[in-house]
Structure 1
Amino acid sequence: MIFHALKILTAHLNSYYTGLTVPGGLTAHPTVNLQNVSQLTEEELKSSNKVLLTLVNLAEETTMKNEPGTYVVNSNEAHYTNPPVNLNLFLLFSVCMSNYEHALIYLSHTISFFQGKRIFTRQDGAPILAGLTDDFHTGLPGDFHIILDLYSLSFEQVNYLWSTLGGKQHPFVCYKVRLVSLQRAAVKETRGVIRKITIDDSAAR
Structure 2
Amino acid sequence: MIGIALKLLQDELGSYISLNSPGDDITSDDVILHNIALLDNEEADLNNKIVMTLVNIEEESTLKNCGNTVKGINGTRYVEPPVFLNLYMLISATLGPDLADAYEFALNRLSLIVQFFQSKKTFTVKNSPFATLSGNTVVTEEVKEALRLNVELYTLTFEQINHLWGSLGGKQVPSALYKIRLVKIQENTGQEAPVIERIKTVETLINADCDE
| TM-score bucket (shorter structure) | 0.7 to 0.9
Cα RMSD (Å): 2.8
Amino acid corresponding to residue 80 of structure 1 in structure 2: Y
Deviates more, 1:154-163 or 1:121-130: 121-130
Pick from 151, 156, 174: which aligns with 2:154? Answer: 151
Distance 1:41 1:198, change over 3 A: closer
1:111-140 alpha-carbon deviations (Å, 9 max, x no partner): 000000010113135752145473xx3894
Q: Confirm or deny: 8 A CA contact 1:59 1:88 kept in the other structure.
A: yes
In structure 2, list runs of 5 or more residues that go unmatched.
97-101
In structure 1, list runs of 5 or more residues that go unmatched.
none
1:162 alignment partner in structure 2:
165
Q: Confirm or deny: 8 A CA contact 1:94 1:173 kept in the other structure.
A: yes
1:34-68 alpha-carbon deviations (Å, 9 max, x no partner): 11111231767897221000000000000111121
Pick from 88, 104, 107: which aligns with 2:107? Answer: 104
Q: How many residues are treated as equivalent by the alignment?
A: 199
Superposition TM-score, scaled by structure 2 size? 0.82
What percent of counterpart residues are identical?
39
Superposition TM-score, scaled by structure 1 size? 0.85
Q: Confirm or deny: 8 A CA contact 1:10 1:34 kept in the other structure.
A: yes
Q: Which runs of 4+ in 1 moved over 6 A?
A: 42-47
Q: Confirm or deny: 8 A CA contact 1:46 1:97 kept in the other structure.
A: no
Amino acid corresponding to residue 193 of structure 2 in structure 1: R
Whole-Å Cα distance in 1 between the matches of residues 177 and 164 of structure 2? 11
Distance 1:111 1:73, change over 3 A: same
Q: Confirm or deny: 8 A CA contact 1:83 1:183 kept in the other structure.
A: yes
1:182-201 alignment to 2 at 5 Å? 182-187=185-190, 189-197=191-199, 200=204
Distance 1:38 1:147, change over 3 A: same
1:16-165 alignment to 2 at 5 Å? 16-23=16-23, 26-29=24-27, 31-41=30-40, 48-75=47-74, 77-98=75-96, 99-124=102-127, 127-132=131-136, 134=138, 137=139, 140=143, 142-165=145-168
Whole-Å Cα distance in 2 between the matches of residues 192 and 28 of structure 1? 58
